[in-house]
């Protein structure tokens, strides 16, 4: 009799699971979710194509007419801020702090002030306009906010369960954003876990991976399989003199990354009142200062700085000032303080390559390529203080990184983060996300 009851129970469970599997509502949600992931991929590819082309267009214009940025940048910055304050409040800055804050907000109305289709539209248009204006920005942070906003919109269209709505969809969008921005799917998943969520939750990893895979398929089909920073043949023996080289470079560049983050937090807070009263004029003034730096440096600080970083990381001969990293850091800091939309990922990687290039002059030529790579990782880790993400992003973005360089890159990320925390105790994205949460509370 007991055997019969157990068998009946099993049959009943199979029948129940079969009904769930064939549920129209379940499949509708799945199709909506998968369609959303593909849509995110298409948006990310279009956004990348537009931003990269506008970045190249401004670079060509600045080479032909070196003094034009003195006119274009102030006007462009002022137009961006006017549109931002009038129609797209919430689309300013990187976009990553907004997503982090949205993950902690329970109220749907408040969350919509951080991630929404209105903000996504503003982020798309105004970031592209920022590249057209020559700002020292990246597209990865905006891509994350764009992707998270699309997934959040899907969560409101369909009645996903609470976990999917509050965490899974936003994290999936963020992971897809990093994956699409850098063609680095593993880095996207790790970034979402380490930085956005702050912890590992196996209940949402399936959602993230599915989104990243579908988004990645779209990106591969349209843009092909490419390495963002090209190839690197750097090698470094850390058991010999190379270990000393690594420690010195990683600590120095990581500390500089911490200086950047500390300055960003302190100055942005200090000028908040000025920005509140005269945001358009302030942005115009900042744009003019960046243009002056650009003219004095031959235009090398405009845009994301990807081309210069690629040349330095791949050991190509390029005429670049030994102070490129410093000027790029200043230009990126000013671009962020102005309030325009734009990320700090790509410019920080470029500045890191510049600081690595600067440090390479202190060592023998055989260490040059390795020092640039270590400097890139350490400075980037110092800025964001997410060592696992930084190590994986750089290793995925740089093709042909030898197995012998994986451990040095890991150590560089750890040392860079540790050195950064000496001067900047709190990770920059976390500190900025707390400001958004405080703003939401004060406005409620």
The tens place of each residue's pLDDT in the chain, 444 residues long, gives 444 555 554 555 554 555 555 555 666 666 777 777 788 888 888 898 899 899 999 999 888 999 999 999 999 999 999 999 999 998 999 888 998 888 888 777 788 888 889 999 999 999 999 999 999 999 888 988 888 888 778 776 665 555 555 566 777 777 777 777 677 777 777 777 767 665 555 555 666 677 777 777 777 677 766 667 766 777 777 777 888 999 999 999 999 999 999 999 999 999 888 888 899 999 999 999 999 999 999 889 999 888 888 888 877 777 788 899 999 999 999 999 999 999 998 899 999 999 999 998 998 888 888 899 899 999 999 999 888 888 888 877 776 555 567 888 899 999 999 999 999 988 999 999 999 988 888 876
Tokens 């956004």 belong to residue: 47
Q: What DSSP line would sit under 123-150, residue for residue?
A: HHHHHHHHHHTT-S-BSHHHHHHHHHHH
Name the nearest CA neighbour of 135 among 98, 80, 67, 86: 80
pLDDT of residue 251: 96
pLDDT of residue 166: 56
Task: Please provide the DSSP assignment of 378-406 as one string.
Answer: HHHHHHH--HHHHHHHHHHHSBT--HHHH
C-alpha separations of 22 from 11, 31, 157 in Å: 16, 13, 21
Task: Answer for the pair 260, 329: CB distance below 8 angstroms, yes or no.
Answer: yes
| pLDDT value, residue 398 | 72
Measure the CA dihedral 424/266/428/126, to 10°.
-160
Q: Reduce the secondary structure of 362-373 to three states and give it as a string.
A: CCCHHHHHHHHH
Predicted model pTM: 0.87
**Burial class for 126, CB neighbours closer than 10 Å (0-12, 13-18, 19+):** buried
What pLDDT score was predicted for residue 235?
76
Question: Residue written as tokens 């050195």?
Answer: 419
pLDDT of res. 364 = 85
């Amino acid at each position: 009799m007991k055997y019969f009851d157990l068998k009946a129970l099993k049959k009943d469970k199979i029948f129940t699971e079969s009904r769930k599997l064939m549920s129209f509502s379940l499949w509708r949600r799945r199709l909506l979710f998968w369609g959303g992931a593909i849509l995110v991929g298409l948006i990310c590819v279009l956004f990348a194509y537009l931003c990269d082309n506008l970045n190249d267009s401004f670079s060509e214009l600045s080479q032909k007419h070196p003094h034009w940025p003195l006119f274009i940048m102030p006007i462009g910055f002022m137009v961006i801020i006017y549109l931002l304050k009038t129609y797209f409040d919430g689309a300013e800055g990187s976009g990553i702090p907004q997503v982090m804050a949205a993950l902690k907000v329970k109220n749907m109305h408040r969350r919509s002030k951080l991630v929404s289709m209105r903000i996504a539209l503003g982020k798309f248009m105004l970031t592209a306009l920022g590249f057209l204006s020559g700002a020292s920005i990246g597209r990865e942070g905006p891509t994350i906010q764009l992707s998270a906003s699309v997934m959040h919109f899907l969560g409101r269209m369909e009645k996903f369960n609470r976990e999917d709505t509050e965490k899974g969809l936003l994290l999936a969008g963020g992971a897809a954003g990093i994956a699409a921005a850098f063609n680095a799917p593993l880095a996207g998943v790790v970034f979402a876990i380490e930085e956005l969520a702050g912890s590992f939750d196996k209940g949402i990893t399936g959602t993230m991976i599915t989104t990243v895979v579908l988004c990645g398929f779209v990106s591969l089909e349209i843009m092909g399989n490419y390495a963002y920073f090209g190839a690197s043949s750097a090698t470094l023996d850390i058991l010999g003199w190379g270990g000393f080289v690594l420690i010195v470079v990683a600590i120095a560049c990581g500390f500089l990354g911490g200086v950047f983050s500390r300055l960003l937090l302190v100055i942005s807070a200090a000028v908040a009142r000025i920005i509140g009263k005269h945001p358009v004029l302030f942005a115009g003034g900042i744009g003019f200062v960046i243009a002056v730096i650009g003219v004095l440096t031959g235009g090398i600080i405009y845009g994301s700085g990807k081309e210069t970083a690629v040349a330095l990381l791949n050991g190509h001969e390029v005429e670049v000032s030994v102070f490129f990293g410093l000027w790029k850091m200043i230009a990126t800091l000013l671009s962020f303080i102005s309030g325009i939309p734009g990320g700090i990922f790509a410019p920080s990687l470029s500045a890191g390559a510049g600081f690595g290039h600067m440090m390479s002059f202190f060592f023998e030529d055989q260490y040059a390529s390795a020092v640039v790579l270590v400097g890139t990782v350490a400075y980037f880790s110092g800025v964001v203080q997410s060592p696992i993400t930084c190590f994986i992003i750089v290793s995925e973005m740089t093709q042909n990184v030898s197995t012998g360089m994986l451990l040095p890159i890991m150590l560089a990320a750890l040392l860079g983060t540790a050195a950064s925390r000496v001067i900047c105790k709190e990770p920059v994205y976390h500190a900025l996300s707390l400001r958004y949460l405080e703003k939401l509370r004060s406005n409620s």
